[in-house]
């Protein structure tokens, strides 16, 4: 398990015991949905923890957290997507999602450390490339790591 310590922030891979804290961050990450009042946190937490425990046991997901004073204050998820084998090509690419740092702790390098952890893990796992869908506000942040806009992909909303 890789760890990075900086300014009392520890960046580490999540463990099964982190499920409730990650559910809280995911809830906070979704204010538009929460404000509708259609969802109860307790129901969401149970659903999230079922997903998290199952995903954590698979070899398709990595969850990285930022921890300060024994409290999880940020996270990023990486889904490892297996490709159909092809001669001479790498076997996986990565989908980065749910990058979140508590608002009062933003712009202190925590998000940067989380993305660095993901990139390092992707290199260690020999991934071919990483994909993410940034918000308008975060485009420059991701460009600072070398991410570039890609025009090749197409999507169909269902």
Domain-embedded: residue 47: yes
> Alpha-carbon distance 148 to 69, whole Å?
35
Domain-embedded: residue 158: no
As given in the structure block, the two tokens for residue 77 are: 């998820």
Q: Which residue has the higher pLDDT, 156 or 42?
A: 42
Domain-embedded: residue 85: yes
Domain-embedded: residue 43: yes
Q: How many CA atoms does the CB half-sphere of 134 hold within 13 Å?
A: 16
pLDDT band at 2 (very low <50, low <70, confident <90, very high): very low
Task: Determine the pLDDT at residue 136.
Answer: 93
Domain-embedded: residue 32: yes
Residue 56 phi, psi dihedral angles, 5° rounding = -65, -35
Q: What is the pTM of this model?
A: 0.87
- Helices 41-57 and 19-28, axial angle in degrees (round to 10): 120
Range of the domain at 87: 4-143
Q: What is the pLDDT of residues 93-119, one digit of tens each?
A: 999 999 999 999 999 999 999 999 999
Domain-embedded: residue 45: yes
Could you give the number of structural domains in the chain?
1
Domain-embedded: residue 156: no
State the burial class of residue 152 (Cβ atoms within 10 Å of its Cβ: 0-12, 13-18, 19+). exposed
Domain-embedded: residue 10: yes
Task: Read off the CATH number of the domain in which 20 is found.
Answer: 3.40.630.30
């Amino acid at each position: 398990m890789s760890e990075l310590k900086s300014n009392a922030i520890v960046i580490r891979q999540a463990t099964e015991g982190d499920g409730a804290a990650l559910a809280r961050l995911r809830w906070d990450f979704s204010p538009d949905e929460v404000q509708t009042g259609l969802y109860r946190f307790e129901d969401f937490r149970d659903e999230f923890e079922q997903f998290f425990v199952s995903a954590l046991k698979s070899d398709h997901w990595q969850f990285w957290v930022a921890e300060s004073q024994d409290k999880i204050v940020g996270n990023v998820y990486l889904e490892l997507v297996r490709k159909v084998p092809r001669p001479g090509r790498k076997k996986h690419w990565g989908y980065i999602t749910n990058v979140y740092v508590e608002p009062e702790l933003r712009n202190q390098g925590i998000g940067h450390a989380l993305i660095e952890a993901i990139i390092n893990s992707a290199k260690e796992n020999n991934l071919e490339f990483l994909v993410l869908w940034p918000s308008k506000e975060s485009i420059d942040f991701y460009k600072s790591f070398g991410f570039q806009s890609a025009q090749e992909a197409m999507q169909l909303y269902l």
